[in-house]
């Protein structure tokens, strides 16, 4: 009974205790930033004008939440080590992004003033615009979170055991990253910066685990 209690999955939730603290920091960063565009660094570049607005990509954009939550629940219940590392990667990368925003407030100015069409997808995009400001976009946490979830699946050994599923998950991740640009939630520079943050902390947290042939379940 003692051993069963010791290994109970709910005990692993302590590794997710950083989340409410981070959310408080995130909203504080949003509130402390100056109003309007004055005081912000603009992450938009000339290449952004070549990226079209495509509202249908709001679907993979919103699926980000399901990816992160689904991977987290699976690891929490089945794989203690990978779950801990998944939470650590999120913690250090997301807090680092928030600290950077406070030091270098940034913004993008790509959101269309009017939509070229009116449909259920543009309605969803308008809803997102309503509660998510165009500030704190560099690095993109949508990109950081996507990469973290994919790294966690590699770490758990799931990717190696399910090569077709691995291909589909990487494709899903690519669509999510592309969606940040195509619904004008992020500028082009926000994407490689997010990938860089994920890779930097991924190497520190996982070391050789991402390249090991053995499952870490």
3-state secondary structure 124-193: HHHHHHHHCCCECCCCCHHHHHHHHHHHHHHHHCHHHHCHHHHHHHHHHHHHHHHHHHHCCCCCCCHHHH
Considering the domain boundaries, does residue 18 fall inside one?
Answer: no
Q: Alpha carbon of 166 to those of 72, 81, 154, 192, 216: distances in Å? A: 16, 20, 8, 22, 16
Euclidean distance between the first and the last CA atom of the chain, given in angstroms as a whole number: 23
- pLDDT value for 1: 46
Using DSSP, state whether 107 is helix, strand or coil: strand
Ranges of the chain with pLDDT below 50: 1-2, 4-5, 213, 215, 217
Predicted pLDDT of residue 4: 43
3-state secondary structure of 210: helix
pLDDT at 107: 93
Residue 114 lies in a domain: yes
The gap from C-alpha 66 to its chain's centroid, in whole angstroms, comes to: 11
Would 13 be classed as within a structural domain?
Answer: no
Domain assignment present for 150: yes
Structure tokens at 155: 């770490």
Domain of residue 127, residue span: 55-211
Structural domains in the chain (count): 1
Quickly count: other Cβ atoms within 10 Å of residue 116's Cβ.
10
pLDDT at 213: 47
In a domain, residue 38? The reply is no
Predicted TM-score of the model (pTM): 0.88
69 lies in a domain?
Answer: yes
């Amino acid at each position: 009974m003692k051993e069963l209690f010791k290994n109970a999955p709910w005990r692993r939730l302590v590794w997710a205790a950083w989340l409410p603290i981070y959310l408080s920091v995130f909203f504080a960063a949003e509130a402390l930033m100056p109003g309007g565009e004055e005081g912000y660094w603009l992450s938009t570049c000339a290449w952004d004008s070549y990226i079209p607005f495509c509202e249908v990509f709001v679907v993979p954009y919103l699926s980000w939440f399901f990816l992160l939550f689904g991977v987290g629940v699976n690891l929490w219940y089945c794989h203690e080590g990978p779950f801990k590392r998944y939470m650590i990667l999120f913690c250090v990368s997301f807090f680092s992004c928030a600290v950077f925003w406070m030091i270098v407030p940034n913004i993008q100015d790509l959101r269309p003033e009017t939509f070229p069409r009116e449909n259920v997808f543009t309605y969803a995009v308008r809803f997102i615009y309503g509660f998510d400001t165009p500030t704190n976009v560099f690095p993109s946490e949508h990109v950081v979170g996507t990469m973290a979830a994919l790294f966690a699946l590699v770490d758990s050994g799931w990717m190696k055991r399910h090569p077709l599923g691995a291909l589909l998950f990487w494709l899903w991740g690519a669509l999510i990253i592309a969606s940040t640009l195509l619904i004008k939630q992020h500028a082009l520079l926000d994407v490689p910066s997010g990938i860089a943050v994920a890779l930097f902390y991924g190497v520190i947290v996982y070391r050789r685990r991402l390249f090991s042939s053995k499952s870490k379940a």
